[in-house]
A and B are shown apart, each in its own frame.
Chain A
Amino acid sequence: MVLGISGCSTSGQSEVTSGAPIASDGRLTIYVGRAEDLISPLIDQFTADTGIEVSARYAATPELNALLLEEGENTPAQVFLSQDAGALGSLRNSGLLTALPATLTSLIPAGFTSVDGTWLGVTGRARVIAYDSEKLTAAQVPDSVDELTSADWKGQVAFAPGNASMQSFVTALRVLEGEDAASAWVGGMSENSPVLTESNNATLDLVNAGTVKVGLINHYYWYEKATEIGASNMRAQLKFLPGDAGGIVNVTGAAIMTGSDGDPDALAFLEYLVSEKGQRYFVDTTYEYPLLPGIDAPAGLPSLSSLINAGLDLSDLDTLSQTQALLARYGLI
């Protein structure tokens, strides 16, 4: 499973700190880079189960990442729950994350969690093709993103080039198919009149409205929208891409900030996230892939093992910056 470009970036500072263990004070401050409506019930449940009072600060992951970098060691945050691995990688590179105990990190299979134990994978999101079911049948939708550079799809493909999960797909393409093939794909797409958006949600809206035939998104946005307007009202449908770089799995993750190294309340929260109860909450509420082995994926989704996970270190910003250079070369970002 681990194809390993584990070249854990140059900045692998040691986060090991010594000193007396911090005692539990029954209180925890968390920065949450995901929607409040999705996460606050889980936090309430955590408090009910453990008695630990949580003060949670909600904002989008990029904002909280920038906030944490700005706050540095002065942050009131003890735990950061991030929507993507790249943000966690940037905090690690700045020396703001603690090393987690191996008993915790070993719960999640390699490839879905950090290489160096500084953050913990919590849930997975598959890259998928969302297609307009009024214009296409599932069989007409390509099984691989490779086909989308052909003239048939000119002006019909929407994606968000600046989005972190889109970029980790391009990184996967580079690793799995080589730099030349990845460069050819990005160049081919940029010449195929792609419809560029700022977010996965906006991409899905375009497909759902019939403005474009296909869009490259994460699977879970479809379920979010279907929850709101009803699955039967969804014009956009999803095609998973088992075995294709375009169908890789991105992860959300959690980490403990340096100031709270060894804090039992913080550790308890991370343990809760990857507990059976915590993982089932995500399966039932957000339709994401559980990363803890033994918990079933949401009904209707292909199994996690059928999707390619290149064993990428999704938090490796060096390889991410190469991907961004590639996208910038073709004027996509």
Chain B
Amino acid sequence: MATRRAPRPLVVLAVVACAITSIPLLYLVVRVGSSGLDELTMALGRQRIPQLLGNTVALATAVTISCVALGVPTAFLLTRTRLRATTLWVIVAALPLAIPSYLAAYGWLAAIPTMNGFIAAWFVLTLVCVPYITLPVAAALRVATSGLDDVARTLGYGPVRSFLLGTWPQIRPATLAGSLLVCLYVLSEFGAVALLRYPVLTTAINQAYGSSFNRNYAAILATVLVALAVLVVIAEQSARGRAKRRFTAGSGVVRHSVIRLGRWAPASYSLVAIVPLLAVGMPVGVLFYRLLQAETLRELNVTELLAATANTLALSIGGAVIAVVLALPIGVLAARYSGRIVRVIESVGYLALGLPGIVVGLSLVFFSLAVVPALYQTAIVLAFAYGVLFMPKAIGAIRSSLGQVPTSLEDVSRTLGYSTSQTWWLVTARVARPGILAGALLVAVTAMKELPATLLLRPTGTDTLAVELWSRTSASAYGAAAPYAAVLIVVAAIPAFFLSGARRAATEDTA
């Protein structure tokens, strides 16, 4: 936005945050470096590599497009229309995030066993990824003005055209940030694509660990994923750059009209209901059906369930706090300053998100043993791992919400005699709060269902809900898994609830 030089302390903080999240990339350099040139050429020359690469790109592209197509209208309905029980719908819209993608795939497979290949993977991953668009776009819409739409309407444009001219440029950064998360998520996803038999790079990485015990080959494939992630991040940045040139939000007035649904009500309710129903209702329904059908049931150990719930909450909240602390300097830098260094710092911050959890988990094993061996296999390292893994999820939300705080507001604050830090707390952080909270929510919810890194890094004997779920489904005990899946979703609804609270606060602030 501004072309001022970034203050040095901020750049230093951002560089440190960026270095921390680059641990997985450094690890890959070490691993790929220890494989010979022969191994490298042979790995990349395998007959299946072009197919795996093509499949990976096709899936990531298709899922991103469909998530935008579903997520933007959903966010609009949640924030700009008179839906009944809006708070409930906001929570419901976030729920698919609580479903591990392999569980969604499992649910659909149980119902339709013939599901497989591209269409199946595209369908299931779209369901679980839509909230990555819905949440940041809804956060952006809450602080966006619809005044420009009104201006467009008075100039004779239709409602859709006016939205595209007035509101869309204000939510475009959030849409792009969400798309980036979806795209990187699909690049790194393993569970669902494996079950739905769609071969991509991550399934090949898993085979490299699972049958060849070949860490170097796995690292080479993971590096290909990083290269793809670089392309995706650059594409998002250049798209965002164009958006900035086309439009700058000048008005500090946050005000928007609320639309009555009228005859659009049935279609609107269907849209906000369909994704959560298919993504959450289906797999949970199947698990409970299995629970009723099961002939032998292992007794539900309530103490174990409660302990796993407490562990899950504590670890994911810790992870969210660490992630937001790491993401803030990068997000502020990216929102307020431009230039090559800023772009590089921001891009590198995102890359680890394109890597499958097992690679990131191993890199943190490597790192913590080398640097803080005393903390190895403690909750601290695991929470730190969540922070590193999911920090990029917070960057976009923070950056796009800060981007909507007009610098003129801060200038006013300073002319009134407030210091830079007072201005930050009183003005910037306050206006950007919904976005920062949405970022923390995304991190917490994702951390709750995280499995591969948790299995590698957790303190021995500490179980989370996702671990308990895995432990049961991996032994075909789907019925016994049902209570854990249900509690995971209930627990994940807590951050979703806080998000809706943030929404109310934001509405009051601007009323």
Contact = CB atoms under 8 A, between A and B. Distances in A.
B296 interface: yes
A35 B295 contact: no
Interface residues of B, number: 51
A contact patch SS: helix
Interface in A174-225: 195-199, 201-202, 205-206, 209-211, 221, 224-225
A169 B46 CA distance: 22
Contacts, number: 142
B471 A196 contact: no
B194 A199 contact: yes
Highest count of chain B CB atoms <10 Å: which of A67, A90, A320: A67
A292 B252 CA distance: 78
Interface string B193-227: 01101010001101101111101001000000000
Contact of A328 (B47, B206, B376, B479): B47
Contacts of B206: 62, 162, 198
A38 interface: yes
Contacts of B109: 205
B195 A317 contact: no
B366 interface: yes
A328 B46 contact: yes
A283 B452 CA distance: 30
Interface in B419-452: 452
Nearest to A89: B213
Interface string A246-262: 00000000000000000
A274 to B, nearest CB: 22
B460 A76 contact: yes
A55 B71 CA distance: 45
A333 B49 CA distance: 10
Interface in B272-295: 290, 293-295
B295 A230 contact: yes
A63 B455 contact: yes
Contacts of B122: none
Contacts of B213: 62, 65-66, 69, 86-87, 89-90, 317
Contacts of A197: 197
Nearest to B359: A66
Interface in B58-86: none
A202 B211 contact: no
B377 interface: yes
Chain B binding surface, main DSSP class: helix
A272 interface: no
Nearest to B357: A63
Interface in A55-77: 55-63, 65-67, 69-71, 74, 76
A167 interface: yes
Contacts of A69: 213, 215
B416 interface: no
B195 A198 contact: yes
B250 interface: no
Interface in A234-269: none
B197 A71 contact: no
Interface string A39-62: 000000000000000011111111
A63 B358 contact: yes
Contacts of A70: 215, 362, 365-366, 369
A221 B475 CA distance: 9
A227 interface: yes
B114 interface: yes
Contact of B212 (A36, A202, A324): A324
B215 to A, nearest CB: 6
Interface string A298-329: 00000000000000000001001100100011
Given A76-B377, A206-B113, A228 B212 contact: no
Given A69-B215, A162-B211, A164-B210, A63 B296 contact: no
A229 interface: yes
B192 to A, nearest CB: 11
B369 A74 contact: yes
Interface of B: 46-48, 51, 109, 113-114, 194-195, 197, 199, 203-204, 206-207, 209-213, 215, 218, 290, 293-296, 298, 358, 362, 365-366, 369, 373, 376-377, 452, 455-456, 460-461, 467, 471-472, 474-480
Interface of A: 29, 35-38, 55-63, 65-67, 69-71, 74, 76, 86-87, 89-90, 162-164, 167, 195-199, 201-202, 205-206, 209-211, 221, 224-225, 227-230, 233, 317, 320-321, 324, 328-329, 331, 333
25 contacts: A35-B475, A37-B471, A55-B460, A55-B461, A59-B455, A60-B474, A63-B456, A66-B209, A67-B362, A70-B365, A70-B366, A71-B365, A195-B197, A198-B207, A202-B195, A205-B109, A206-B113, A224-B476, A227-B296, A228-B476, A321-B212, A328-B47, A329-B47, A333-B48, A333-B204
